[in-house]
Amino acid sequence: MKAIILSSFLLLFGLKMVAQSKFTVGGLVRSKEKQAIIGANLTFVSRSNTFSTSTDSIGSYSIKLPPDFYNIEIRNVGFVSQYLKNTISNKTSLDVILERERGLLKEVIVVTNSKKPLSISSGNRLSFIPEKLSSIPSLMGVPDVIKLLQLTPGVQNSGDANGYLYVRGSDPGHNLMLYAETPIYGMAHLLGVFPFYNGDHIKEVLFDKSNSDARNGGRLSATVSILTNKKVPTKFSAKGNLGLIASQATLAIPISTTMGLYLSARKTYIDEIVGPLFNSSKSNENSDVKGLKYSFGDSNLTFIAALTKKHLFTVDAFVSGDILRITDSNLALNSNLKWSNTTISPSWQYLVSKGIIMTNSLYYTRYENRLYMEQATVQMNIASYVKDLGFSNSIKYSINEIPFETGLQYIIHELLPQKIEVSNLSMNATNQQAEIFKANSLALYTSAKPRLFDKVSAEIGFRVNYYSSDKGKTNYLHLEPRILLNYLPQINTSFFASYTRQNQYLNLITTSSVGIPTDFWVASSDGIPTQFSNEFSLGYSQKFKREFDFSLNTFYRTMNNLIEYPYGVTQFNEITTFKNDIVVGKGESYGLEWMLKKDNGKFTGWLSYTLSWANRKFDALNDGDHFYAKYDRRHNLALVGTFDLNLKWNFGITQIFSSGNRFTLPTSWYFINNNPVKEYGKYNNAQMPNYIRTDLSVNYYFIKTREKESALIFSVFNTFNIENPIYTVLNVAIDEDKQKIEVIPERKTLYSILPSVSWRFKF
């Protein structure tokens, strides 16, 4: 407790506190079903001041206000905002009931309690409820968290064959993916076609592009936090989706009045269908996905026990497994690729006293992939894994009406980047890269949300990281300041400025240009430096007539010690070590983002646009000159809309346009002993065609109530059958009669138009 008080006074130093007579206003915020609404935001606006607070884990709030007349706004994601007027002249009890809405994306409103508010931070943080986005077109008729995020500003479209996130010019491994506060290292199913997360098991998704919360660390870019339901089910219920090639179901099972669990499962049955689908492009010869069999399954479990009014115990678990088989008789090829995720995370939340909440969590996470290839007389096995055992403790409290959060996080890492075994070659041994990395990381953090001036508030955070590795006795100690300033001139208008410093100790090495999970993780150690970044961002947001929200943001990010691995999946040189194979450089990205969003009425949706640049500089690449990053897409435009015709019919559309990603094209060819040899010029000197895609959906509801639903979902992916190539192959054509050699580029596509139909149910 002494450490908490000391860190609190350090952050409070220099803040002028003005005492005045106040009255306590408090109460409960609930839904019509009498469920407590956690994190609801209440804003009290008088003629001269603005005050804000939020509800705690039981839906309760309390705030001290000077006597005055107030306009009161109560908001929470997934609910219709409520507006009240009240004169505060003595101690007041004010309970609020909120109605649920069909709304789309909602900006996260970051607030403090009492007189220390933070305003809307629309430029950096978004949240959404997957269940509320079921009308948006998707390939399988179910919400896809990753695809939805790719429709928001600052997130690059990754194309058809990739399930990664590219945020503000960063690499995919720079994002922290959390499922129930547990890191997820394997982030996609095959080619990004299937949603990685079961949307029916998810309560809410939080997305922070700048990672400005001191609680989160270990990555250079964004944080995606997947939250599960923490409400004890009161009765049995089921919901799910039955499709042509995949199905899913989620059960809510009450055990007692204080205990219950949620179970979810998904399974594909596409071996007989996926071949025709993946070869349904305009020219089948452009599809390289032949002789393919693929399947995956996953399951989720959330157990909840409200032991007492002060103790909440939960356990979250997630297991997924994929297997891909490819055979080609022409090439005498037989290959199998398996990858899987396993996580489990028990958590205990304790209400120490009013206004003080302590949370302790323990988690285990493991991701592994294994590739077996047999071609002619050559056999090869490549294995990789990363696993963590972690513990976290956090305490939320207030001092002088300033909310604080202080905590620690400790993680034991173990990584096997690549274990390569090759037989039937001149060498028959395990590659030297089969060494295991072990590391430990400890983080201490404190954040506060003070009000600096009348209409200016802040979120100030400090994070201290200590990292040690068993390779080369590597030890690092880093300080990460985080600051977010908000100016709220009016209740519907806000401006923000933020700065974030971050360090990353585990690095993702990408070896495939498409969504084949042969990528692997490696830990910082002797010869593998720690990556770090600095980001500055400015933003403005405005709400118009309770229907439209507009946000405009700019950002500038620098990244250092970026890592590239130029050898692809394998490097057979026995005398090399992994640290000698990588190249290290730096990068920068900057851009402008805006979004216009409509939440009410028959037509809802949003329009987003990003103009950005992403550059890299590696001494060992491109002669040390700057070059464009692979996913430097200059323009990204996304339109998302849904239209409710009546109670039975609903329509959805997404329209995507983005510049093509970068790649390296040879500038000339020459032949040695009749074998073609490529000569390359500048790195990433070519660009794929612009990416254009239109998706449509039609939903017909047989039944639609709060507790029951039966609907047919028709969707068409890439409605206008536009071919978006995923890579380019250069073929050499030799005409011996004319003594002519011609290089013919061939663009490879995964698929074109893909219709689907599914049945969604809830009872």
Higher pLDDT, 115 or 563: 563
Neighbours of 575 (CB within 10 A): 6
Average pLDDT over residues 314-337: 82
User: How far is Cα 735 from Cα 738, in angstroms, rounded to an integer?
Assistant: 6
Taking alpha carbons only, the member of 40, 120, 110 closest to residue 79 is: 40
User: How far is Cα 189 from Cα 246, in angstroms, rounded to an integer?
Assistant: 13
Residues 182, 36: one domain? no
Residue 85 has what pLDDT? Answer: 85
Average pLDDT over residues 714-724: 89
Residue 640 has what pLDDT? Answer: 93
Whether 735 is in a domain gets the answer yes
Res 183 pLDDT > 90: yes
Residues 136, 74: one domain? no
Q: Are 593 and 153 in contact (CB under 8 A)?
A: yes
Whether 112 is in a domain gets the answer no
Residue 510 has what pLDDT? Answer: 81
Residues 535, 617: one domain? yes
Average pLDDT over residues 463-492: 90
Whether 344 is in a domain gets the answer yes
Model confidence pLDDT, tens digit, residues 485-518: 989 888 788 899 999 999 999 999 887 655 567 7
Q: Are 123 and 535 in contact (CB under 8 A)?
A: no
Return the C-alpha torsion angle 432, 433, 434, 439, nearest 10.
130
pTM, two decimals, is 0.82
Q: Are 635 and 659 in contact (CB under 8 A)?
A: yes
CB-neighbour burial class of residue 38 (10 A; exposed 0-12, middle 13-18, buried 19+): middle
- Answer left, alpha or beta for residue 277, where phi above 0 means left and psi between -120 and 50 means alpha: alpha
- pLDDT mean across residues, the chain: 82
Model confidence pLDDT, tens digit, residues 652-685: 999 999 998 888 888 777 777 767 777 777 888 8
Domain harbouring 96, CATH code = 2.60.40.10
CA atoms within a 13 Å half-sphere pointing along the CA-CB vector of 679? 6
Whether 113 is in a domain gets the answer no
Residues 34, 183: one domain? no
Whether 278 is in a domain gets the answer yes
AA identity, residue 22: K
Higher pLDDT, 696 or 12: 696
Residues 167, 66: one domain? no
Whether 705 is in a domain gets the answer yes
What token pair was written down for 449? 């949300």
Most confident of 55-59, 132-136, 322-326, 609-613: 609-613
Model confidence pLDDT, tens digit, residues 260-272: 999 999 988 876 6
Measure the N-to-C terminal CA separation of the chain; round to a whole number of Å. Answer: 48
Tell me how far CA of residue 194 lies from CA of 267, 308, 316, 371, in angstroms: 11, 40, 22, 21
Last residue of a domain, one of 67, 101, 135: 101
Residues 319, 444: one domain? yes
Residues 58, 140: one domain? no
Residues 436, 353: one domain? yes
Residue 116 has what pLDDT? Answer: 28
Model confidence pLDDT, tens digit, residues 739-760: 677 777 777 777 778 888 999 9
Residue 277 has what pLDDT? Answer: 53
Model confidence pLDDT, tens digit, residues 99-122: 876 443 443 333 333 332 223 455
Whether 507 is in a domain gets the answer yes
Residue that has been written with the tokens 């969604």 in this structure: 760
Residue 292 has what pLDDT? Answer: 67
Residues 141, 243: one domain? yes
Residue 274 has what pLDDT? Answer: 54
Q: DSSP string spanning 380-425?
A: EEEEEEEEEEEEEEEEEEEETTEEEEEEEEEEEEEEEEEEEEEESS
Domain harbouring 284, CATH code = 2.40.170.20
Indicate the range of 59-63, 440-444, 610-614 predicted with least confidence.
59-63
Please count the structural domains in the chain.
2
Q: Which residues constitute the domain of residue 216?
A: 127-762
Indicate the range of 54-58, 112-116, 159-163, 417-421 predicted with least confidence.
112-116
Residue 114 has what pLDDT? Answer: 33
Model confidence pLDDT, tens digit, residues 211-235: 889 999 999 999 999 999 888 898 9
Residue 389 has what pLDDT? Answer: 98
Neighbours of 302 (CB within 10 A): 22
Q: Are 558 and 532 in contact (CB under 8 A)?
A: no
Q: Are 531 and 563 in contact (CB under 8 A)?
A: yes
State the Rg of the chain over Cα.
Answer: 27
Higher pLDDT, 218 or 571: 218
Residues 535, 664: one domain? yes
Residues 71, 132: one domain? no
Res 433 pLDDT > 60: no
Residue that has been written with the tokens 């985080």 in this structure: 482
Res 569 pLDDT > 60: no
Q: Give the contacts of 222 (CB within 8 A, at least 6 positions apart).
A: 165, 167, 168, 170, 174, 175, 176, 207, 208, 209, 210, 211
Whether 119 is in a domain gets the answer no
Residues 237, 335: one domain? yes
User: How far is Cα 341 from Cα 316, in angstroms, rounded to an integer?
Assistant: 14
Res 547 pLDDT > 50: yes
Q: Give the contacts of 490 (CB within 8 A, at least 6 positions apart).
A: none
